[in-house]
Amino acid sequence: MDDHRFDMLARAQIGASSRRQALKLLIAGFLGPVLTNIGHEEAVASCGALFNQKCGDNTPCCGEAGLRCMDRRCRCKKDWDHCQPGPACQHLKRDPDHCGTCGKKCPTNKPCCINGKCRELCNDECCGDCFVTVTDDEPDPDSAICCQAENGKVCSKKPGGDDDRCCYPEEKCLKGQCCRDGEYGETNCAGTCCRESACCNDKTCCKQGQVCARKTKSSSKESCVSANRSCNTGANCYPGEECHGGTCCSGVRLCKGSGGDDHCCNAGEYCEFPEAPGAHCVPVHTSDSTYRSHRIRP
C-alpha cells in the first residue's frame, strides 16, 4: 500500500469516527484479500496460534478460519473441526488431554476429565459421581459403583455430602427417594414413592396404617381406610378384599402359605413368595432404603 492511499484512508476514517475504527478498517483492508486468496486450510493454519488467546477490539481473531472473539477469547463460533489445525482442543470439560485448559493432560492416577477437572477412576469407569455400598452401616471400599441411573443424577444429598444417595438403574428418583415402581411393594403414585396398597386413584398416597379401598361396588373412586379391620366371614370387607387370616386384605398384602398359614401383611409390608411354603411379610422399600451409600470425593 503506497503512502498516498494510506493517508487518504486514514483521514477519511478519522473524520467519520475514531483512530481505533480507522485501524480496524486498515487491518481488514490489508488482511482481507490475503485470507481470501489463500485456501481455508491455510487460513486455519495461519490462525491456529490465536485459538483460545485473549482478544478484543485491538486484537481481533481470524474470521476466515471460523474464530470469533467470544468471552474475550478467540474461540470457534460454529464448527470446532475447522477452527484449529492438528488435534482439536475443544472439549475442555471432558478431554483428558486438554482438561480445563488447552494442553493440560490428566495424570495417570486421575485419568478422567469431569467438568474440566481431573478425577480418579470409579471401578474402571469415568463418571461424575462414584459411590460405595454400605453394609451394616459400614462403607465397603471395594464396591465402587458409578452413579448411572437417572442420567447420572444424585437422587438426594445430605449436608456435608457423606451420605448422598444414588439410585440403581432399575429405580426412579422421586422427590429424593429411590423407588422401584411395581416391585417390592412400592409404586410411583403421582410422583411420590408410595406403598402399592396405599396409592388411591393413582394420585393420593395414604398415611401410615392405611390402605386403599372402594367402599361400595358402585363407587369408582378409592378411599384411604384403616388397614387393620378384623373380619370373620368377609361380610364387613370392602369390594375387592377378602377375609384373610382374620383381616380384610387384598393385593400385595395377601400371604397364602401352602401350609395353611394364611395371614395379611401390615400396611407397610408386602408378601414375598405369596404362594410358596416360605411366604412371609417384609417391609416395602419406601421405609427401608434400597441403596444407601457414601460418596467418594476426589
**CA atoms 47, 52, 54, 55: torsion sign:** positive
CA distance 269 to 198: 11
Q: Tell whether the model's pLDDT for residue 239 goes beyond 50.
A: yes
What are the grid coordinates assigned to 243, written together?
A: 377375609
Report yes or no on whether pTM surpasses 0.85. no
Q: Which residues contact 295 (CB under 8 A, 6 or more apart)?
A: 129, 130, 131, 154, 161, 162, 163, 164, 166
The model's confidence at residue 83, banded by pLDDT at 50, 70 and 90, is low
In the predicted model, what is the mean pLDDT of residues 205-232? 91
290 located within any domain = no
Q: Please tell me which of 121-125, 188-192, 259-263 the model is most confident about, judged by mean pLDDT.
A: 188-192
Residue 59 φ then ψ, to 5°: -130, 75
In the predicted model, what is the mean pLDDT of residues 3-18? 40
Contact 142, 276 (CB under 8 A): no
H-run or E-run covering 139 = strand 138-146
What are the grid coordinates assigned to 29, written together?
A: 483492508
97 located within any domain = no
176 located within any domain = no
Of the candidates 178, 187, 123, 121, which has an alpha carbon nearest to the alpha carbon of residue 149? 178
In single-letter form, the type of residue at position 152 comes to G
Number of structural domains in the chain: 1
31 located within any domain = yes
End-to-end CA distance of the chain: give it in Å, rounded: 59
pLDDT given at position 160: 64
The model's confidence at residue 108, banded by pLDDT at 50, 70 and 90, is very high
Q: Which of 81-90, 141-150, 234-243 has the lowest mean pLDDT?
A: 81-90
Q: Which residues contact 146 (CB under 8 A, 6 or more apart)?
A: 122, 123, 125, 127, 129, 130, 131, 152
Look up the domain containing 30 and give its range.
Answer: 3-82
33 located within any domain = yes
In the predicted model, what is the mean pLDDT of residues 177-186? 87
53 located within any domain = yes
13 located within any domain = yes
Q: Tell whether the model's pLDDT for residue 85 goes beyond 70.
A: no
Of the candidates 174, 169, 178, 176, which has an alpha carbon nearest to the alpha carbon of residue 145? 169
Q: Tell whether the model's pLDDT for residue 74 goes beyond 50.
A: yes
99 located within any domain = no
What are the grid coordinates assigned to 7, written together?
A: 493517508
Q: Tell whether the model's pLDDT for residue 296 goes beyond 80.
A: no
